[in-house]
Amino acid sequence: MTNQNTPQSEVAFQKLGNTWYVFTEVNDEVIYSAMPDGMDPRETKLELYEIIEDHMERVVKYHQDAKRSPEAAA
């Protein structure tokens, strides 16, 4: 059983300018984050994808916490 509040293993990559971005979908919302400078998903070793997935989980949690925060609504 998969928790719907965490990203799946499915991510998409897009390069804008010199920066690669990683995208995932959680609860029908697209969440994205810039990848570290110099990281190219076409040349990244498979082991580093776990790091990317962990990073996206943190981005999703931050995004969800910000949406619940009263300061975010102001």
**pLDDT (tens digit per residue) in 2-42:** 444 544 458 889 999 999 998 988 888 888 889 888 888 88
Counting the structural domains of the chain, the total is 1
> Bridge partners of 24?
31
Predicted confidence (pLDDT) at residue 1 exceeds the cutoff of 50: no
5 assigned to some structural domain: no
Q: What is the pLDDT of residue 22?
A: 87
3 assigned to some structural domain: no
Going by the DSSP 8-state scheme, the letter that residue 55 receives in this structure is H
Its domain, for residue 51, covers: 12-73
User: What pTM value is reported for the model?
Assistant: 0.56
29 assigned to some structural domain: yes
7 assigned to some structural domain: no
6 assigned to some structural domain: no
1 assigned to some structural domain: no
Q: Is 54 exposed, middle or buried (CB count within 10 Å of its CB: 0-12, 13-18, 19+)?
A: exposed
4 assigned to some structural domain: no
